[in-house]
Amino acid sequence: MRMTLRRRLILVYSTVFSIILIILGSVVTFYNANLAEQDSYAYCERIVTSNILLMDRYFDQLQTIAGIIAKDRDVIRAVNYRNSAEVIDYSVELYNQRRVNDRFQQLDLLSIITNANIIGANNTSLYHYGMSPVMDFDFGACAWFNSFLVSRERGALFTHFHDTEYLLNSKVERTVSLITPIQSMEQYTVGAMSYLMCDFDLDSILARNTEQSHVLTAIYYESEQVIFPGGEILSEQQKQLFMDRLESGAESFRVPARGRGENTYLVLSRYSDVSGWRIIGLVMMNDNHTTVFIFTAVLILVTIATAVVFAGVLSKSVLLPLNQLVNKYREIGEGNFQVTFDQTGMVELDQIVLTSQHMVESISQLTRDIENEQKKLAKEQIKTLQHQINPHFLNNTLQSIKALAVCGDMKSVSSIATLLGKVLSYSVYNPYDTVDLQLELSYVRDYIQIQNIRFNDLINYEIDCAEAYSDMGIPKLMIQPIVENAFEHGFQNREPMTITLCVFESGGALLIRIRDNGTGMEHNAVEILNAKLSRNESPDDSDSVGLLNVNRRIKNMHGTDYGLSVEGLDKGLSVTICLPYNKGGNVHE
């Protein structure tokens, strides 16, 4: 709905103050209804739930890394060898140990892992990580390990707390392990399976969660006591109520303070989908005074944030459209007529926007019309300049054919006539402005061969072009005028001359460099020519009409970053053509 600027300001300010009053009234009503405690309960529940999810993440990371090691081909190959070999080849075993130890290094990613053992089909340790195991210790004789074998499935399983008598010099009396089957496609019987057993420090995980979230995390087994990091925190009366509620299957409940010095705890319990354990979180509840203080502080912060947000909305809805309109006019003043004006929804500003948009579109259309006319004129001029070169070359070639015919050299007449036919076919009948680089180079070879027939093979030439550049699209008749320039100005003394053509990539551009060891140019003349090329001057009656023509064609097609540059040599001249490097290859226009 469109409205005036005055009405919009009135509406926005009224809305801001109304919202602030509504928030304050709602907060007072909420507090008087004694809902502060319920809000605190919900807040604590979110913290405990997120803490339980974090606990599961530790278990999932441990299970993932153990699964990666258990499924590793090198580990499976080493375990299969130990299980099946009657006599151990220690050269093979040494290699297997190195490979397994490399895989064990992945356990360093989790600081909670204390030891790891690969238990073979004979229930003894084949490879270990961390503390060394007792030699030939029989894990099958341990009740906790047999309990796992009875209840195992195809996946991994977390054990309960168990003794660590299988470790040499072990100072750890009890630990928890993750046992992961190591399966192979070559093993089909249950008895032949091996296992990766990773011992980890559960107490450190519980303590770490407690430190990070200020929520006490514990583990409950149906057959054992609750495991608290750092010892018991509940009184005997609280502990009895705590255990009764857990055994009844309650997922969330309170453990109130029963005596002086005790704290009230909020308890939430969830089953871990990863470990299968029942994870418990305990949060100490604050007293009412602390809760009121926190609630008041949060209320103040919310009120301030609300005022800031609505102040920003007000600035955006009123001042921002005006600033944007000013910036659009600034861009137009700098010559950018591609700007677009957005509707603001305000009557006054929208009238200015519509008028401005119509003005910009009219100017842009007029500019495009002028540019199109200029492009057409430039294209016609370029075609005219292009055809000014060909008749001169054709006349010289026909004169050479006449001279050869008079001398009776019919073989040379036949060769030069054939080459001339190819040259005319390419330059006249090829309809494309852009051709493959290899086609342009073939045309240059034919041109040089015609000149060699005319001048008794005094011209040597070398063309270095990698296969990767052969199908690059370049402007037609771009290289030949430069080679012709070398003939006209570098071959004046009719002494043997070498022309070298090299194609390469540099800085995201395709460079074609034509060098000759002919007469060359003076230093001042080279500087003047480069200045003309840089300014993209139109060809005139100067001696460099061919170079200026090619340079103008390239800049009109690809922009001012590309074109020709000239370098004077000790003997001869070097001309470099710079084109965009288009990996797409041949594009005909």
Res. 67: pLDDT tops 80: yes
pLDDT of residue 459: 86
Tokens of 231: 């010892």
Res. 507: pLDDT tops 50: yes
The average confidence (pLDDT) of the chain is 76
pLDDT of residue 162: 84
Closest-CA residue to 228 (of 249, 247, 205): 205
Predicted confidence (pLDDT) per residue in 175-194, tens digit: 888 888 887 655 444 446 78
Q: What is the mean pLDDT of residues 358-368?
A: 73
Q: E strand or H helix at 447, and its extent?
A: helix 437-454
Q: What are the backbone angles phi and psi of residue 70, rounded to the nearest 5°?
A: -65, -25
Q: What is the mean pLDDT of residues 105-125?
A: 88
Kindly state the percentage of the chain with pLDDT values over 70: 68
Res. 318: pLDDT tops 90: no
Which comes out higher in pLDDT, residue 121 or 8? Answer: 121
pLDDT of residue 312: 55
Res. 61: pLDDT tops 70: yes
51: which residues sit within 8 A by CB, 6+ positions away?
A: 209, 213, 215, 217, 281
Q: How far apart are CA 73 and CA 90, in angstroms?
A: 20
pLDDT of residue 185: 53
DSSP label of 343: P
Closest-CA residue to 360 (of 382, 381, 340, 390): 340
Which single residue is written with the structure tokens 């005055």? Answer: 6
Res. 114: pLDDT tops 90: no
Coil/strand/helix, residue 231: coil
Which single residue is written with the structure tokens 């050299």? Answer: 409
pLDDT of residue 145: 84
Tokens of 193: 């399976």
Coil/strand/helix, residue 146: helix
Res. 172: pLDDT tops 60: yes
Euclidean distance between the first and the last CA atom of the chain, given in angstroms as a whole number: 50
Specify the amino acid at residue 374: Q
Q: How far apart are CA 338 and CA 428, in angstroms?
A: 40
110: left (phi over 0), alpha (psi -120 to 50) or beta: beta
Length of the chain: 589
Weakest-pLDDT range from 94-98, 106-110, 119-123, 489-493: 489-493
Kindly state the percentage of the chain with pLDDT values over 90: 11
Q: How many CB atoms lie within 10 A of CB 117?
A: 26
Task: Please state the pTM of the whole predicted model.
Answer: 0.42
Q: What is the mean pLDDT of residues 89-105?
A: 91
The pLDDT-based confidence of 27 (bands split at 50, 70, 90) is low
pLDDT of residue 218: 76
pLDDT of residue 101: 92
Predicted confidence (pLDDT) per residue in 463-475, tens digit: 999 988 988 888 8
Q: How far apart are CA 179 and CA 276, in angstroms?
A: 13
The pLDDT-based confidence of 159 (bands split at 50, 70, 90) is confident
Which comes out higher in pLDDT, residue 509 or 58? Answer: 509
Q: Are 55 and 279 in contact (CB under 8 A)?
A: yes
Which comes out higher in pLDDT, residue 344 or 219? Answer: 219
Tokens of 539: 């060809």
Res. 313: pLDDT tops 80: no
Q: What is the mean pLDDT of residues 140-148?
A: 81
DSSP label of 227: B
Q: What is the mean pLDDT of residues 560-580?
A: 90
Q: What are the backbone angles phi and psi of residue 503, rounded to the nearest 5°?
A: -115, 130
Q: How far apart are CA 441 and CA 423, in angstroms?
A: 12
The pLDDT-based confidence of 230 (bands split at 50, 70, 90) is low
The pLDDT-based confidence of 497 (bands split at 50, 70, 90) is confident
Residue/partner pairs of 233-240 with CB below 8 Å, 24 or more apart: 233/282, 234/265, 235/259, 235/262, 238/262, 238/265
Coil/strand/helix, residue 498: strand
The pLDDT-based confidence of 588 (bands split at 50, 70, 90) is very low
CA geometry: angle 281, 285, 290, nearest 5 deg: 145
pLDDT of residue 503: 93
pLDDT of residue 389: 47
Res. 9: pLDDT tops 90: no
Which comes out higher in pLDDT, residue 399 or 437? Answer: 437
Predicted confidence (pLDDT) per residue in 238-287, tens digit: 888 888 888 887 887 888 877 777 777 878 777 777 777 777 777 776 54
